[in-house]
Amino acid sequence: MGLLKLSWLVLSCWVLSLLLFGAHCKDEEVSVKFLKAPHPFSHRNTATFVFQILVGGNVNNCTNCSVSCRLDGGPSSDCGARKVFYGNLQDGNHAFEVCINGYQGCTPYNWTIDTVPPTAYVTASTPFTNALNVTVNITFSESCTGGGGFGCSSTNTCNVSRCSIEEH
């Protein structure tokens, strides 16, 4: 009889601790950490996302979280592998969301795809010259993000003493 009471007590404690642990997990903070994502302004029409789901103040990797992802408000798909690839994306703004089932809200990542390179317009004060110094204006059809712009490959072929970039 004593063994039966002890077994019942152990089982009760186990169930109670399981319930308390489950309630504690739901109250913990859950966050998404992107390990790989497209640049905020990208010239590529593909996107690869690699991410972690962290619980407990960004300390522990959640291995049993149910995760879904969606692109541009489309249908959700399972992304439990924590790695997603999208191809043949159109130019424009995009929104990727990671949603963890059982927790409110999704974590978004926004970026813009622009596969059309800017056009450079070059004008000079005289069309043909053999002068040592010539003023040249270079303007671009759009801003050059991500470190783009105008540069000279050699001072022997392009001696730019003052350069200003104007955007149209």
91: domain CATH number is 2.60.40.10
Do residues 35 and 109 share a domain? Answer: yes
Helix (H) or strand (E) holding 16: helix 2-27
Q: Please check whether residue 73 lies inside any domain of the structure.
A: yes
Do residues 46 and 64 share a domain? Answer: yes
Do residues 101 and 33 share a domain? Answer: yes
Do residues 45 and 57 share a domain? Answer: yes
Q: Predicted confidence band at 121 (pLDDT cuts at 50, 70, 90)?
A: confident
- Separation of alpha carbons 55 and 69, rounded Å: 18
Do residues 106 and 166 share a domain? Answer: no
pLDDT tens across 64-78, in order? Answer: 889 999 999 999 999
Beta-carbon count within 10 A of 38 CB: 21
Tell me the mean pLDDT in the region 79-84: 96
- What single-letter DSSP state applies at residue 117? P
Residue 97: the pLDDT is 98
**What is the domain extent for residue 141?**
117-168
Do residues 102 and 143 share a domain? Answer: no
CA end-to-end distance (rounded Å), the chain: 89
What is the pairing mode between strands 120-124 and 106-113? Answer: unpaired
Domain end point (choices 69, 85, 113):
113
Q: How many domains does the chain have?
A: 2
Amino acid at the residue 113: I
- Is pTM beyond 0.85? Reply is no
Domain end point (choices 68, 95, 113):
113
Q: Please check whether residue 77 lies inside any domain of the structure.
A: yes
Percent of the chain with pLDDT over 90: 40
